[in-house]
Structures are given as C-alpha cells and as structure tokens.
Amino acid sequence: MTLQQARADRIEEELWTLSRFSVEGPGVTRLTYTPEHAAAREVIVAAMQRTGLSVQEDALGNIIGRREGSDPALPAIAFGSHFDSVRNGGMFDGTAGVVCALEAARVLQESGYVNRHPLEVIAIVEEEGTRFSSGMLGGRAIAGLVSDADLDTLVDEDGVTVREAATAFGLEPGELRTAARTRDDLRAFIELHIEQGPILEQEKVEIGVVTGIVGVRAFRITVEGRSDHAGTTPMHLRQDALVPAALMVREINRFVNEIADGTVATVGHLTVTPGGLNQVPGGVEFTLDLRSPHEESIRLLVDRIEAMVAEVAAAAGVEAAVNGFFALSPVGLSPVVVDRVRDAASELGFTHRDITSGAGHDSMFIAQITDVGMVFVPSRAGRSHVPEEWSDFDDLRKGTDVVLHVVTALDR
Ligand SMILES: [Zn+2]
C-alpha cells in the first residue's frame, strides 16, 4: 500500500494554534500544569480524537493517543515529543515533534493503513524542567525513573511540589507506576525534533539521523584568594582570585579545542566577590558545562581540568576546588531504529547525515527501556530557546514523512 504524504499546511496551522498558548511576552512560555498547558492539552486531545485515537493521560500528564493494531499480542510503536517550553522560547522546540506526530497519525488514518502493532502518539510534559528545575521529568516517568519521593522533593519557585501541582491539574501523580513503560508494551519510540544547532542548515542537509545524545557534566569551580584594598595593596602582595580563574577559563577552552571530537565546554556564569571596583577579588565561583558524545573524552578532560586547576591555583597562591553537581552519560540510540531512519531518508530522496544531539531529550531516558530513534530537521541559523527559533514547515513535513516510513517499516 502507498502512504499519502504528510501536509506542511496542516503542520503549520496546528503549530501556530499551539504557539498561542503562552503567557504574555516575547516567544512562547508554556510551563507545566498551568492554564497555558491546559489549553494546549485540550487542542492535542481533540486532534487525537479526530484522528480516531483513544486518549489517555498518565500519572504526570503525558498524553497518549492510541490506535490498536491487528495483532493484540504485539507491543506498541510510539512517536511524539514534548509540549512544554522554556521561558520566552520558540514555538518549535518539542511542540513541532508533537504536531508532526499528530500529522503522521492523520496520514496513516487517511491512507487506510492497517497496523499490526498498536500505534501511539505521545505528547510529553515537563521536558525542559522550566517549572520544577528537573529536566525530562515526563520522559523519565515513561522510563520508570521517577520515584514517589521525587513528587514531593521537586518544587517550583513558589515551593509548590510536583504532587500538589499535578493533583490540582486533575491528575493522579501517585499512580506513577502506571506511567512506566517496558519493552514488553513499547517496541520503539521515534522522536522528531528541531536540531537546535546550525549544522544541517549550514550543510544544506534536509534530515539529521540522530545516532546518539551527548553526555553532560556540570561543575562549580571555586577559587579562594583574599580581598584587599585595590589602591594600597602592592601587586606582589595580592591573592587576587580572578586572575588565576581567568587563566583556568582560557585553559579549559584550549583543552577542548585540542580534542576537536565534538566535545564542547562552556563557562556560562561567573561570580566575583566582593565585586567592587576598588576591591581586589577575594573569591570567584564559575560554572562549567561539559558535553561530549564520548564518555572517554569527558573522563580525560575532567582529569586534565582538575590537574590544571590545582596547578594554576598553587602557582597563584590561592585555593581552588572543582565540584561536580550533575552527570549524565552519553546515550547511543538503537541501531535498529537509526538504520531505519537513514534508510527512510534515502528512500524518500532527502539529503541526510548522521548527527549527535548536543541537547538532552526525553529520548535519552526512553532509550533505557526500548529502541529509540530521533529525526532532526534544520533550525534557521541554529537558533533555539529564543523567540526567533524557526524551522520551515516543509522541512517538518519531510521529517514527518521519514517518521511515517520508520513507523511502517518497524510495523512490518
Ligand atoms: Zn525539546
């Protein structure tokens, strides 16, 4: 049987509709368990119902639209993404994957496709961690990685817990166990997402075949010197904390440039105390965000950075410490699904390349329980998490056609 093509005009219309569910201000701000979330939920549920899907919400509010298959013994094949946003983000991050999954379900219905496996469109909550400072909460719940205790320890900036907010939203967060899936009931998950980086656009490639997701390490590096009067303390008697800290930042940058294997490092926040014009800096604290597709590179870099920080501090006569506070290993996606994504792009005549995701996604957790693949579409100028975020609707249509091909290939 031949499938019809996905339609860019329907993808466009639905994305604009969902983009309006945002608090006032530039771009899209749609936080979990808010009125904006509720409005988006309503539209997504209605779209699923129109497509003949039976709709359920799990304990945390992930929306699952399901179409039973001809063989009731088979596990489901699912596709989707998240529909929350960062503050003042764009209208494509996450939501594009949900809208394209809805479009894929429509095409299957209109083409009269008879599926063997149950098919599911999944719209996931709280991926960004904007409200509860805990990224990929919805995806982790699907992977069975959220504990009952998390519901009470994760709070928003007003001190409201996940349990309280989800309950007020009409959910039953205590039923977490029912949100957790296993390989026995979920055969595969395919996520279409915007690239959020510049590679596809720069190389004029239509489809990114995601082979893996980078590992992340986050550190706080502190340098302790001594604060003194900026006018009366001679240079050779100072314990200025900022000068060695600046050297550390430069050295980290140099190390990572030397590796040149896709590893990136960012010092994004730096605090100088006491922070006065006429005071010698007594203390510096800066963050380090380290990401790499290669666990080995991360390990080597961390060793090298720790040694360098100790050396630079000793030479400057100050104290320094490197404290890690977040670690996530790189995730390789399932070759079974990745190969099918690549084949689908080729068969459809789209230019494609393998790519590593530099951002975290729900898929990295769902990959712990089943076969997962991701399809990237180009982002204009690589911009994301900003109001200017943009992907062309026709590129999203191509990505949807790839998802359709992968789903039906896995279903056979
Ligand atoms: Zn996203």
Summarize pLDDT for 207-247 with one digit per residue, the tens.
Answer: 999 999 999 999 999 999 999 999 999 999 999 999 999 99
Q: For a pLDDT cut of 70, what percent of the chain falls above it?
A: 100
Q: What average pLDDT score do residues 279-297 get?
A: 96
The pLDDT tens digits of the residues spanning 9-68 come to 999 999 999 999 999 999 999 999 999 999 999 999 999 999 999 999 999 999 999 999
DSSP letter assigned to residue 170: T
Q: Which of 279, 324, 272 is nearest to 303 (CA)?
A: 324
- Residue 144: how many other CB atoms lie within 10 Å: 16
pLDDT band of 72, cuts 50, 70, 90: confident
**Cα-to-centroid distance, 173 and ligand 1 (Å):** 23
Distance from the alpha carbon of residue 41 to the mean position of ligand 1, in angstroms: 17
Identify the H or E element spanning 411.
Answer: helix 393-411
Q: Is 261 helix (H, G, I), strand (E, B) or coil?
A: coil
Distance 193 CA to ligand 1 centre (A): 7
- Mean per-residue pLDDT, 280-297: 96
pLDDT digits over 383-403, tens only? 999 999 999 999 999 999 999
Cα 166 to middle of ligand 1, angstroms: 21
The topology under which CATH files domain 8-213+331-411 is Aminopeptidase (3.40.630)
Look at phi and psi of residue 340 and say left if phi exceeds 0, alpha if psi is from -120 to 50, else beta: alpha
pLDDT score, position 190:
98
Q: Which residues pair with 215 in a beta bridge?
A: 292
The per-residue pLDDT for 181 is: 97
Centre of ligand 1 from the C-alpha of residue 137, in Å: 12
What sign has the CA pseudo-torsion 2, 78, 14, 82?
A: negative
Tell me how far the alpha carbon of residue 251 lies from the centroid of ligand 1, in angstroms: 31
What does the DSSP 8-state code read for residue 317?
Answer: T
Q: What is the distance in A from the centroid of ligand 1 to the CA of 243?
A: 38
From the list 107, 198, 126, the residue with the least C-alpha distance to 391 is 198
Which is nearest to 362 in space by CA: 115, 176, 177, 191? 191
Instruction: Look up tokens 């779209």; give the residue.
Output: 47
Burial (CB < 10 A; 0-12, 13-18, 19+), residue 7, is: middle
Distance 244 CA to ligand 1 centre (A): 37
Tell me the CA–centroid distance for residue 85 and ligand 1, in Å. Answer: 8
User: What is the torsional sign of CA 286, 292, 296, 297?
Assistant: negative
All CATH 3.30.70.360 domain ranges of the chain, comma separated, are 215-328
Confidence of residue 134 (pLDDT cuts 50, 70, 90): confident
What's the CA-to-centroid distance between 4 and ligand 1, angstroms? Answer: 27
- CATH number belonging to the domain at 215-328, selected among 3.40.50.720, 3.30.2270.10, 3.30.70.360, 3.30.300.30: 3.30.70.360
Average pLDDT over residues 152-169: 97
Please give the Cα distance from 366 to 138 (Å, whole number). Answer: 10
Does the bond joining 35 to the residue before it have cis omega, within 30 degrees of 0? no
Angle (nearest 5°) at CA 72 between 67 and 78:
40
Question: What residues does CATH 3.40.630.10 cover in the chain?
Answer: 8-213+331-411
Q: What is the pLDDT of residue 133?
A: 87
What number is the average pLDDT over the span 280-302? 95
> What integer pLDDT is reported at residue 1 of this predicted model?
67
Angle between helices 95-110 and 35-50 (to 10 degrees): 20
Ligand 1 centre from 315 Cα, in Å? 43
Instruction: Report the pLDDT value the prediction gives residue 63, as an integer from 0 to 100.
Output: 98
> What is the rounded average pLDDT of the residues 276-301?
96
**What value does the mean pLDDT of the chain take?**
96
- Residue-by-residue DSSP string for 2-16: PPPPP-HHHHHHHHH
Is the pLDDT at 344 greater than 90? The verdict is yes
Tokens of 221: 């590096």
| Residue 81 predicted with pLDDT over 90 | yes
Residue 155: how many other CB atoms lie within 10 Å: 17
Whole-angstrom distance, CA of residue 45 vs CA of residue 31: 18
**Residue 316 has what pLDDT?**
97
Indicate whether 120 pLDDT > 90: yes
